[in-house]
Amino acid sequence: MSERLVQIGESGALHGVLCTPSANRAGGASLLLFNAGVVHRIGAHRLNVKIARAMQKEGAPSLRFDLSGLGESPAKSGGVGHQEQATIDISAAVDLLSSEAEAQAVVSLGMCSGADNGYRAALNDERIKGLILLDPYAYPNRMAAAEDMLARAASPERWMRKAASLMSAKSDNGGADAVEDLDQARPLPPRTSFGADLKRLTDGGVRILIVYTGFVRSMISRPSHFFSIFPEYDFGSRIDVVTMPEIDHTYTELSAQSALIGHVGDWLKRHFPLAGGAE
Amino acid sequence: MAAAPLYFGESNRRLYGVYHHAEAPSSRVPGVLLFNPFGEEAIRAYRIFKLLAERLARIGAPVLRFDYFGAGDSAGDCADVTFGGMVRDAASAQEELQAMSAKRRFAWIGLGLGGAVAAAAARENDVRLEHLFLWDAVVNGTQYLRELHAAHLAFLARNLDQPAGAVAKRVGPAPDTMAEALGFAVSQALSREVGAIDLSKTGFPRAARVHFMRPGAHAPESSVVATAESAAKSVHVFEDDSDPWNSDDALNSYFIPTAAIDYIVDAIGSNR
Nearest CA in chain B to A173: B161
* Residue A217 C-alpha, separation from nearest chain B C-alpha, in angstroms: 10
Is residue B161 within 8 angstroms of chain A, CB to CB? Answer: yes
Closest Cβ–Cβ partner in B14, B73, B159 for A249: B159
Strand extents, DSSP E, chain B? 3-8, 15-20, 31-35, 63-66, 106-111, 129-135, 180-181, 184-185, 207-215, 232-240
In a domain, A245, yes or no: no
Q: What type of residue is B40?
A: E
Render pLDDT for B214-272 as a digit per residue (tens, 0 to 9).
Answer: 865 566 778 888 888 888 999 999 987 777 787 776 666 667 889 999 999 999 998 76
In a domain, A151, yes or no: no
Render pLDDT for A30-41 as a digit per residue (tens, 0 to 9).
Answer: 999 999 999 999
Dihedral sign for Cα atoms in the order B143, B147, B153, B156: negative
- The strand pair at A62-65 and A14-19 is best described as antiparallel
Q: What type of residue is A20?
A: T
Least confident piece of the model among A13-17, A36-40, A196-200? A36-40
Q: pLDDT band for A278, please (50, 70, 90 cuts).
A: very low
Tell whether the model's pLDDT for residue A2 goes beyond 50: yes
Q: pLDDT band for A119, please (50, 70, 90 cuts).
A: very high
Q: pLDDT band for A88, please (50, 70, 90 cuts).
A: very high
SS3 state at B8: strand
CB–CB contact B161 A175 (8 Å): yes
Tell whether the model's pLDDT for residue B204 goes beyond 50: yes
B26 neighbors B269 (Cβ within 8 angstroms): no
| Interface residue ranges in chain A relative to chain B, Cβ cutoff 8 Å | 1, 3, 5, 15, 17, 37-42, 44-47, 49-50, 71-72, 157-158, 161, 172, 174-175, 178, 214-215, 217, 246-254, 257
Render pLDDT for B215-225 as a digit per residue (tens, 0 to 9).
Answer: 655 667 788 88
Q: Which domain holds residue A60?
A: 1-130
Is residue B182 within 8 angstroms of chain A, CB to CB? Answer: yes
Is residue B75 within 8 angstroms of chain A, CB to CB? Answer: yes
Q: Which of B253, B39, B254, B45 is nearest to B135 (CA)?
A: B45
Q: pLDDT band for A175, please (50, 70, 90 cuts).
A: very low
User: Residues of chain B with pLDDT > 90: what percent?
Assistant: 68
Q: pLDDT band for A184, please (50, 70, 90 cuts).
A: low
| Total number of domains in chain A | 1
Dihedral sign for Cα atoms in the order B20, B23, B25, B30: negative
ipTM here:
0.94
CB–CB contact A38 B253 (8 Å): yes
In a domain, A264, yes or no: no
CATH number listed for the domain at residues B3-139+201-270? 3.40.50.1820
Closest Cβ–Cβ partner in B73, B179, B253 for A42: B73
A52 neighbors A33 (Cβ within 8 angstroms): yes
Render pLDDT for A251-277 as a digit per residue (tens, 0 to 9).
Answer: 999 999 999 999 999 999 999 998 865
Tell whether the model's pLDDT for residue A47 goes beyond 50: yes
Is residue B40 within 8 angstroms of chain A, CB to CB? Answer: yes
Predicted local distance difference test score (pLDDT) of residue A169: 44
In a domain, A140, yes or no: no
Predicted local distance difference test score (pLDDT) of residue B216: 58
A111/B74 Cα distance (integer angstroms): 22
CA–CA distances in Å: residue B12 to residues A91, A168, B70, B89: 34, 52, 12, 12
B103/B128 Cα distance (integer angstroms): 13
* Residue B167 C-alpha, separation from nearest chain A C-alpha, in angstroms: 11
Tell whether the model's pLDDT for residue A211 goes beyond 70: yes
Q: What type of residue is B99?
A: A
A45 neighbors A251 (Cβ within 8 angstroms): yes
Mean pLDDT, residues B167-181 taken together: 85
Dihedral sign for Cα atoms in the order B197, B202, B208, B210: positive
Q: What type of residue is A43?
A: G
Render pLDDT for B61-107 as a digit per residue (tens, 0 to 9).
Answer: 999 999 999 999 999 999 999 999 999 999 999 999 999 999 999 99
The domain that holds A75 is classified in CATH as 3.40.50.1820
* Residue A70 C-alpha, separation from nearest chain B C-alpha, in angstroms: 9
CB–CB contact A72 B14 (8 Å): no
Render pLDDT for B17-68 as a digit per residue (tens, 0 to 9).
Answer: 999 999 988 889 999 999 999 999 999 999 999 999 999 999 999 999 999 9
Q: What type of residue is A92?
A: A
CB–CB contact B185 A37 (8 Å): no
B64/B4 Cα distance (integer angstroms): 10
Max distance between CA atoms of chain A, in angstroms, equals 61
Distance between start and end Cα atoms, chain B: 29
CB–CB contact A44 B183 (8 Å): yes
Closest Cβ–Cβ partner in A38, A158, A172 for B254: A38
Least confident piece of the model among A155-159, B134-138, B154-158, B197-201? A155-159
Residues of A whose CB is below 8 A from B50: 72
Size of interface A-B (CB pairs under 8 A): 80
Closest Cβ–Cβ partner in A3, A46, A174 for B78: A46
B224 neighbors B211 (Cβ within 8 angstroms): no
Write down the domain spans for chain B. Answer: 3-139+201-270, 141-196
Is residue B73 within 8 angstroms of chain A, CB to CB? Answer: yes
Dihedral sign for Cα atoms in the order A160, A165, A167, A171: negative
Mean pLDDT, residues B114-123 taken together: 96
In a domain, A15, yes or no: yes
